Structure 1
Amino acid sequence: MRYRRIKIKGGLYFFTVVLADREQTLLTDHIDLLRDAFRYTKANHPFDIISSVILPEHLHVIWQLPEGDNNYSMRWSLIKGYFSRHLAQQSRKALNPSRVNKRERGIWQRRFWEHHIRDEKDLAQHIDYIHYNPVKHGYVSKAVDWPFSSIHQFIEQGEVDRNWGGDIGQVTGSNVRKFGE
């Protein structure tokens, strides 16, 4: 069965991209390299980053693609490839033979998750999900304490209070700040 992706030119998308080994911490250990991979790709194939969070072994991001363009798969391929090529060479014995035959380093899961953002409510929920993710995974007790998150820009722009996204007991039901409402 062939996996089918929704591709809308100029679309707004939520993505989850994950390392092959969920025990690794490569994304935060090499955050500057990951930023370089994004900058390189954006310079050659523009897109806007609406919201993002980088965790040690996975990331979530919302992108707005340019009008007339729906090729997010190529952009992810470029980001993953740039990051992988620029990391220090891994031991060949650690790589799966199937990945070696396909000239893959085995750093990333082959696929990624995408979701087309349908409306303002959908966007708000995904931005909240992104910003709350470091709390959900137990890395921090407050969303603002995670350094690799777009929540800091949202706070600077006055779109969210710096106390938003405290502990799990605090952020439930009506306590969740909804963007765009």
Structure 2
Amino acid sequence: MRIYTRSRIPGATYFFTVNLAERQGNDLLVKHIDALREAFRVTKKTHPFVIEAMVVLPDHLHCLWRLPPDDSDYPKRWRLIKAHFSQMLACGEFISASRKKKGERGIWQRRYWEHVIRDERDLHNHLDYIHYNPVKHGHVLRAIDWPYSSFHIYVVRGHYPADWAAPSNLDRRLG
């Protein structure tokens, strides 16, 4: 049996994908965007990190975090974010027997995907992936039209043109 070991590098930049437990037709993350923002704010206050980029979709999110130079404990941060967000929502979701046994809610998938950013090219590929995701999933035709994305900040900073990933500019989408 192969055991997965998470990479833990102090001060590294990580890409994450985090999903709701029930993704089909679920819009909790955008419906309760203020609660999600509060969960991040509270966690960052006690366990600092920098959000380099992020997109929140109805049923999952992608983000890039940079951790402090002496810290690699992103699992704790995710536990806190998930717990705080869950506490702010009324109960009512399906909770499996195994989750009930452990006293867990049924909002988030237990696991998440993490990837250590290796170099500038890897960083830019993940930035593009994050910012293109609402278009990929058919939520909007242009990246600029999705309100829950750091894409807008990157446009203001001059890293992307406002029409990046627009239908007439798909050839420019991924560099």
TM-score normalised to structure 1 length: 0.92
Match of 2:164 in 1: 164
Equivalent residues of 2:19, 2:108 under 8 A apart: yes
Task: Tell me the distance in 2 between the aligned counterparts of 1:101 and 1:58.
Answer: 25
Which letter does structure 1 place at the counterpart of 2:138? G
The aligned residue for residue 109 of structure 2 is: 109
Q: CA deviation at 1:58?
A: 0.1
- Look up the equivalent residue of 2:8 and give its one-letter code: K
Shift in Å, 1:50: 0.3
Q: Which amino acid aligns with 1:32?
A: D
For 1:10, give the aligned amino acid: G
The CA deviation at 1:2 is 3.1
Q: State the Cα RMSD in Å.
A: 1.2
Aligned equivalent of 2:151: 151
- Structure 1 residue 177: deviation in Å? 5.3
Quote the offset at 1:62 in angstroms: 0.1
Cα distance in structure 2, aligned partners of 1:158 and 1:108: 35
Cα deviation, residue 13, structure 1: 0.3
Query: For structure 1, which runs of at least 5 residues remain unmatched after alignment?
Result: none
Distance apart, 1:86 and its partner CA: 1.0
Q: Which residue of 2 aligns with 1:88?
A: 90
> Contact conserved, 1:164 with 1:177, CA < 8 A, in 2?
no
Q: Which residue of 2 aligns with 1:75?
A: 77
Match in the other structure for 1:47: 49
The aligned residue for residue 4 of structure 2 is 3
Does the CA contact (< 8 Å) of 1:143 and 1:164 recur in 2? yes
Per the alignment, residue 22 of structure 1 pairs with 23
The runs of 4+ residues in structure 1 deviating greater than 4 Å are none
User: Could you tell me how far 1:170 is from its partner in structure 2?
Assistant: 3.7
In structure 1, how many angstroms separate the alpha carbons of the residues matched to 2:41 and 2:78?
A: 12
- Corresponding position: 1:176 with 2:164: no
Identity %: 52
Give deviations 1:8-30, integer Å, cap 9, x for gaps.
Answer: 00010000000000121100000
TM-fit CA distance, 1:3: 2.2
